[in-house]
Chain A
Amino acid sequence: MDGPLVRQMGTSYDAVVADGEAPQTIDDANPVLDDLLEFQLYSWCFRHFQRFKYHRPDFGIFDVIEQDRDHIIAELDSVARTAGDDLRLNDTLEIPEYYRFVDFHQHTGGVYSDPLDGVAYEFGRRTTNPAHMDPNLIYRLSYSQFPDRAFGKVLDWGTGHGAGLVEWQKLHPESECYGVDLSAPCLKLAHKRAKEHGFKFKLSQQDVEHLDFEDDTFDCIFHLFMFHEIPPINLKNALKEVVRVLKPGGVFIGPEFGQGDGGPMQQAVQISHAWNNNETYTAAWTQFDMEKAARDVGFSKVSIEPFKPYESGKAEKGSRVTAWRFYQLEK
């Protein structure tokens, strides 16, 4: 959460609250934000830029890939047909209700219901940042915070289109890479991307609450911003599965936003943003006690620290970029 508009929003917010008692809670911050034109514009942008991205006539992602629908499907299916055990899809998998209930990130129909959804999602994530920025930087920043050691078997927990796993394998050629996701269209694309890079991933369509891996399988399980997309009770169930399939001493790692201590304005903006962008379970996630849940399910060490790559160097006036946290849980 940064940029000229956000900085101006922060500056204006600070100017308003400077005259009175500083807001202590999100409920205090909301009415201040609600009157800021910057916040109204910010909210409009977050809501509608997603719509623009997917739905603009001619240029929107859906329009662009629709023109090539048959070709894309044929190519994905062609690669999938020869995947063997590298791509295990499950036509009978029951997609969790919470997942079906929300078109996350305003991706119409969710990222699992149309054969082109993986490609649309991949396009979408590449355009989350301006085109001149490296869309894979976030993966490398995250991995730079991992323990500096070799990892044998790793699992990308919610691998999606596979870009995170590709970046991982580039940095960790020693790893045997696995990925799970609910979305078959995404997994097909992830498999194709792996082959394009000459990598061999073991991808499977699974629910993170019910993994079919044996106990003590993985040295490391990682994710990128998954917690806020999973309802609290389901998240705790999923943590139990993570503990089960991690080897003793194995780690479960990844960054997440929403539980930082950037103050009431930061929290209010992030939660409002999440509602705007159909990241519906975020507000519940912000109340989730990860420390307790992690210990309840059997993690022996729990580390929740600021996400260091975004902790420094951006402290311009009005900036509110310090709310990301890095979660490292050890079995």
Chain B
Amino acid sequence: MLSKKEFKTVKTGPVTGDEPDWIHDLPVDNMVGAITALSAEVYILKERMRAMERELVRRDALAESSVEDHEPTQEEREADQKDLDAFVNRIWTEIMRDRKTVANVDPGAVNYFKQPE
């Protein structure tokens, strides 16, 4: 039986027609924050990767298939997991952040807006 109650995300019937919106309660500012955080991460990686590739090519130290064939050790796998957790945390905290400002302006500052005689 189909419910007549309208939900934002809960589905009580088949999805027909246009793709529905799924996310309704995520402030746009937070979403932009997450995208920007991700962009920063990607660009840092891009810069480092570019530098490494250049160095390796210059030194003739890397066969073309080395990256694709790479197998981490157990220790490396554990370190990779920690790194992944930290990475997810950095994105997630941006999505979930509260709206408290990180720096303050005392309301009394407005008393300093007067012009001299």
List residues of chain A with CB under 8 Å of any chain B CB: 41, 44-45, 48-52, 54-59, 97-98, 100-103, 105-109, 131, 231-236, 278, 280-281, 283-284, 287-289, 293
Residue of A nearest to B104 (CB): A103
Residue of A nearest to B93 (CB): A57
How far in angstroms is the closest Cβ of chain A from B56? 21
Query: Contact at A231–B102, with CB atoms within 8 Å?
Result: no
Q: Knowing A44-B32, A101-B109 are in contact, say whether A54-B102 is a contact too (CB < 8 A).
A: yes
Partner of A97, one of B36, B90, B108: B108
Q: Once bound together, how far apart are the Cα atoms of A269 and B115, in whole Å?
A: 22
Q: Knowing A52-B36, A107-B103, A284-B113 are in contact, say whether A101-B90 is a contact too (CB < 8 A).
A: no
Contact pattern, B 30-48, Cβ under 8 Å of A = 1, otherwise 0: 0011001100100010010
Query: Contact at A233–B86, with CB atoms within 8 Å?
Result: no
Query: Contact at A58–B90, with CB atoms within 8 Å?
Result: yes
Q: Once bound together, how far apart are the Cα atoms of A97 and B106, in whole Å?
A: 10
Q: Once bound together, how far apart are the Cα atoms of A153 and B72, in whole Å?
A: 61
Q: Knowing A54-B102, A108-B102 are in contact, say whether A232-B116 is a contact too (CB < 8 A).
A: yes
Please tell me the number of chain B residues within 8 Å of chain A, measured between CB atoms. Answer: 25
Q: Which residues of A contact B116 (CB under 8 A)?
A: 232-233, 235-236, 293
Q: Cβ of B29 < 8 Å from any Cβ of A?
A: yes
How far in angstroms is the closest Cβ of chain A from B35? 11
Those of B89-104 within 8 Å (CB) of chain A: 89-90, 93, 101-104
Residue of B nearest to A283 (CB): B113
Q: Which residues of B contact A48 (CB under 8 A)?
A: 29, 32-33, 36
Q: Which residues of B contact A109 (CB under 8 A)?
A: 103
Q: Which residues of B contact A100 (CB under 8 A)?
A: 106
Contact pattern, B 55-84, Cβ under 8 Å of A = 1, otherwise 0: 000000000000000000000000000000
Q: Which residues of A contact B113 (CB under 8 A)?
A: 231-232, 281, 283-284
Query: Contact at A44–B112, with CB atoms within 8 Å?
Result: no
Q: Cβ of B15 < 8 Å from any Cβ of A?
A: no
6 A-B Cβ contacts within 8 A?
A48-B32, A59-B90, A100-B106, A106-B101, A108-B103, A235-B116
Q: Cβ of B105 < 8 Å from any Cβ of A?
A: yes
Q: Which residues of A contact B109 (CB under 8 A)?
A: 98, 101-102, 280-281
Q: Once bound together, how far apart are the Cα atoms of A288 and B105, in whole Å?
A: 21
Q: Once bound together, how far apart are the Cα atoms of A168 and B116, in whole Å?
A: 32
How far in angstroms is the closest Cβ of chain B from A47? 9
Q: Once bound together, how far apart are the Cα atoms of A43 and B102, in whole Å?
A: 16
Q: Which residues of B contact A287 (CB under 8 A)?
A: 115
Q: Once bound together, how far apart are the Cα atoms of A48 and B114, in whole Å?
A: 29
How far in angstroms is the closest Cβ of chain A from B47? 8
Q: Which residues of A contact B112 (CB under 8 A)?
A: 98, 101, 231-234, 281, 284
Q: Which residues of A contact B32 (CB under 8 A)?
A: 41, 44, 48
Q: Which residues of B contact A231 (CB under 8 A)?
A: 112-114
Query: Contact at A44–B29, with CB atoms within 8 Å?
Result: yes
Query: Contact at B90–A56, with CB atoms within 8 Å?
Result: yes
Q: Once bound together, how far apart are the Cα atoms of A48 and B40, in whole Å?
A: 13
Which are the 8 A-B pairs with shortest beta-carbon distances? A103-B103, A231-B112, A101-B106, A106-B103, A284-B113, A236-B116, A101-B109, A98-B112
Q: Once bound together, how far apart are the Cα atoms of A41 and B86, in whole Å?
A: 27
Query: Contact at B115–A101, with CB atoms within 8 Å?
Result: no
Partner of B102, one of A106, A235, A293: A106
Given A231-B114, A233-B114, 5 more pairs with CB closer than 8 A: A49-B36, A56-B90, A59-B90, A231-B112, A232-B114
Q: Once bound together, how far apart are the Cα atoms of A126 and B92, in whole Å?
A: 27
Partner of A102, one of B33, B36, B105, B115: B105
Q: Once bound together, how far apart are the Cα atoms of A102 and B110, in whole Å?
A: 11
Q: Which residues of A contact B93 (CB under 8 A)?
A: 57
Q: Which residues of A contact B90 (CB under 8 A)?
A: 56-59
Residue of B nearest to A293 (CB): B116
How far in angstroms is the closest Cβ of chain A from B36? 7
Residue of B nearest to A105 (CB): B103
Q: Once bound together, how far apart are the Cα atoms of A79 and B3, in whole Å?
A: 74
Q: Once bound together, how far apart are the Cα atoms of A56 and B105, in whole Å?
A: 21
